[in-house]
Amino acid sequence: MKALKKQLYILFALCGLALLFFVLLFVSDYRAQEAASASGEIVFNCNPGLVTDLQIVTEKESFAFVHDTGNDSWTFADTEEAANALRLAQMLAELREIRSDTVTEAVTDLAPYGLDTPSVKISFSYGDASHTLEIGDYSANAHRYYARANGESRVFLISTAVKTAFDVTEAELMNN
């Protein structure tokens, strides 16, 4: 019985050490991702309040919205049904200023980055300017997603928060 108790204590201690290791690893990865997002060059930006139309194309769904900037209301472009303005504002806030410390210039083959067929394509306009952000594959090494802006040949890494914000369903975008 004494030997069994001793083995249980050792097992609990090892489980505790393993848990501590994974927590420290997660915190370290999170801090590295946040530091990369806060440093580096600005690779994409958006002024959410000025956006007049927005299109989101994912692997599963496609949405188009029109923004009445006068009364700050959003509608689905095809049905003119009211959309969730708060949710759309939160999504666009993720595009306010995207920074990356990892930029690859003059990329000719987008397939290795998952950008030949992006998992998410975000397009919007304000004024006379149109902007597009394409999000490709996840980089397990960097814990971020590959992306490119406005059809440029530059590929950069972006925070997972951007992809997560635009990974939505129609129900989440409906005005409830």
- In a shared domain, residues 112 and 137: yes
- In a shared domain, residues 132 and 162: yes
Report the C-alpha gap between 11 and 31 in whole angstroms: 30
Residues 6 or more apart from 108 whose CB is under 8 A from it? 153
- In a shared domain, residues 138 and 161: yes
DSSP letters of 2-41? HHHHHHHHHHHHHHHHHHHHHHHHHHHHHHHHHHHHHSSE
- Looking at residue 31, its pLDDT comes to 56
- Looking at residue 24, its pLDDT comes to 55
The angle at the Cα of 59, spanning 169 to 129, to the nearest 5 degrees, equals: 85
| Distance from chain centroid for Cα 120 | 9
- Residue reference for tokens 């700050």: 72
- Per-residue pLDDT at 32 exceeds 60: no
Structure-block tokens of residue 164: 């997560």
- In a shared domain, residues 33 and 56: no
- In a shared domain, residues 101 and 60: yes
Report the C-alpha gap between 56 and 130 in whole angstroms: 14
- In a shared domain, residues 97 and 29: no
How confident is residue 144, by pLDDT bands cut at 50, 70 and 90? very high
- In a shared domain, residues 15 and 34: yes
DSSP assignment, residue 60? S
- Looking at residue 29, its pLDDT comes to 52
- In a shared domain, residues 153 and 81: yes
Q: Check residues 32 and 74 and name the one with the higher pLDDT.
A: 74
Give the model confidence (pLDDT) of 114-133 as tens digits.
999 999 999 999 888 899 99
- In a shared domain, residues 96 and 20: no
Q: Which residues of 117-146 are buried (b: 16+ CB within 10 A; e: fewer)?
A: ebbbbbbbebeeeebbbbbbebeeebebbb
Which residues span the domain enclosing 78? 42-173
- Looking at residue 17, its pLDDT comes to 61
Q: Find out whether 48 and 96 touch, Cβ atoms under 8 Å.
A: yes
- Looking at residue 34, its pLDDT comes to 54
In this structure, of 120-124, 159-163, 172-176, the range with the lowest mean pLDDT score is 172-176
Give the model confidence (pLDDT) of 53-103 as tens digits.
999 999 889 999 999 988 889 999 999 999 999 999 999 999 999 999 899
Q: Considering its fold, how many domains does the chain have in total?
A: 2
- In a shared domain, residues 154 and 72: yes
pTM: 0.75
Report the C-alpha gap between 23 and 29 in whole angstroms: 10
Query: How many Å from the N-terminal Cα to the C-terminal Cα in the chain?
Result: 61
- In a shared domain, residues 99 and 34: no
> How does the average pLDDT of the chain come out, rounded?
86
Report the C-alpha gap between 129 and 46 in whole angstroms: 11
Q: Check residues 176 and 113 and name the one with the higher pLDDT.
A: 113
- In a shared domain, residues 58 and 76: yes
